[in-house]
Every structure is written in C-alpha cells, then in structure tokens.
Amino acid sequence: MTDFNQRRARAQLFTEMHRDGCLLLPNAWDAGSARLLAAAGFTALATTSAGIAFSHGHPDHDFFAEHKQGGRLDRTVMMSQVGEIVDAVRVPVSADLEEGYGRSPETVAETVTLALATGAAGGNIEDFTGDRANPLYDPRLAVERIAAARAAADAFVLVGRSDALLAGRPVAEAIDRANSYLAAGADCAFVPGASDAATIALLVRELTGPLNVVMGLTGGALTMAELADLGVRRVTVGGSLIRAMYGHLRRAADELRASGTFTYAQEQIPHAELNDVFRPDAVS
C-alpha cells in the first residue's frame, strides 16, 4: 500500500496533468494490465469497474433488476482491486467509483475515503441510480453527492459524471448536470454517450470546466488529435480494452473447439517479454 506522502505526491502530479493539453488514460482492470499499460509509456491510468467486475466473473453495474441477487461486485472487492492496481505502478491512478455504492451523500463520501486509502489519485462519481424507472438521481441530490465527495478528499481529482445521454435525456440536461457538479467541487466533467464531433464541441463550449470523454466504443471514430482540437482535456477508454481481450479469448476458444487449430497463438506476447515487464524492479 502506498504511504501518505506517495499518495499526496501522485495526487498533486495528477492534478497538474489536467491543467492543459489532452490527457489519455487507458483503463486497467488488474495489476498485470496496469503494469503492461504503464510499461507502454502512459503517464497515468484509470480503472474500469466493468473490467474489474468481468475479471471476477460478475456483470458490470447496471439496472438493479438485471443484477439479480449477488450479481454486482461489492465495494470491498472493488476497492481491493483498485488498491492492487495502484500498488502495481508508480503513475497516478484514477478509480472508477461508479455511483459511489449508495444513494446517500454520506455513503459517497465513505467510498471516496476508501479510494483515497488505496492510494488512488482521483475518481469519478456518476448520477446513474440503477433504477430503470428513474435512472438518474434527482439533480439536487446528485449535487449533494458530489459536494460530499469533494469534502471527503482535497488532494484528489474528482470527476463528476452524468449519464444523462445514456439515459436518453437531451444534451441540455447533460450540460446542466455536469456544470452543477463542477460548481459543487468536481475538477472535471464526464458525459459518456458523447462521441461525435458536434456534441463534443458543444459540451466543451458550454461546460465551465474540463471535459472527459470515453472512446473505444462502437461508433467513436475520432482520434486523440481531433479530440484535442475540439478542446477535450481528458480521454478514457472505459472497458473497451478488456472487451477486446475477451473478444480475442472467445475467438481463440471457438478456434480450439471448432477446428482444433492454434493460430490464435500467433498474436501472443512472448513469455520472456512478459516476464521482463512483470519483474519487481521493472515497475513503471
């Protein structure tokens, strides 16, 4: 576990990274993926709650009716995995904290405190409720939740995420919600569902703080250079990396079962190369 001084230093460095330019944060789901991404040269990482859930054989956070009993990965396991990712690398890590693992501002604050204890340098809180009838928290409560998260952590890059577009709401509501989260103390706004240039440009123009967008989803064809030109400050890739990994795994499984051939192995990273990446003294 990183000590207090290390946590503060990473958080301060992470804050500086958001002051200008366009920061790309690939999303890791375990210590190995984090080590590989850091070794590739990324200066900061994010976690993916979907990827962590999938790696434990659980579905991602979704509508509660679809979770069934015990479906969602619990907060204790999620925070433990975030801690393993943080400890695996030297670069700052932003934690995907979903909706804070509870409705009340007090629970959100507790979740942020737990994320701080793992050594995370930042994290996001979303306004998705998990209730299909009312998929977004009431705006006033959503703001209170962000304010509680801010009060729980000073040296922490707090991202206020609105799922308004994913819930089929108009972009004007997404803008209003995101701006209210920025006013409540969020350092950055995140509006998933915005993937085309026109919508992203509108968000950049209307938001009162930095914008995070998620790429790697179907239909998101913009490049980092194009996103930077639009004024995006931060880019994440959500669960797309682990979904791509599982895509390769399923194709390999289908090949093994259907034809008994092994061509999938042509794309593997050599054993010795992975050993070099994962040596204790090779931590990035």
HSE-CB for 264 with a 13 A CA cutoff: 18
In a domain, 246, yes or no: no
Cα(159)–Cα(126) distance, integer angstroms:
8
Binned at pLDDT 50, 70 and 90, residue 282 comes out as confident
In a domain, 57, yes or no: yes
Q: Is residue 100 exposed (0-12), middle (13-18) or buried (19+ Cβ within 10 Å)?
A: buried
DSSP letters along 1-19, please? ---HHHHHHHHHHHHHHTS
Cα(259)–Cα(99) distance, integer angstroms:
44
Number of domains in the chain: 1
How much is the mean pLDDT over the chain?
A: 94
Tell me the residue range of the domain where 120 lies.
4-238
In a domain, 257, yes or no: no
| pLDDT value at residue 283 | 83
Query: pLDDT for 56-96, tens place per residue?
Result: 999 998 876 666 656 789 999 999 999 999 999 999 999 99
In a domain, 88, yes or no: yes
In a domain, 35, yes or no: yes
In a domain, 243, yes or no: no
Average pLDDT over residues 160-164: 98
In a domain, 255, yes or no: no
| pLDDT value at residue 69 | 59
Q: Is residue 133 exposed (0-12), middle (13-18) or buried (19+ Cβ within 10 Å)?
A: exposed
In a domain, 75, yes or no: yes
Q: What is the CATH number of the domain that holds 29?
A: 3.20.20.60
Q: What percent of the chain clears pLDDT 70, i.e. is strictly above it?
A: 96
Binned at pLDDT 50, 70 and 90, residue 34 comes out as very high
206/72: higher pLDDT: 206
Average pLDDT over residues 5-24: 89
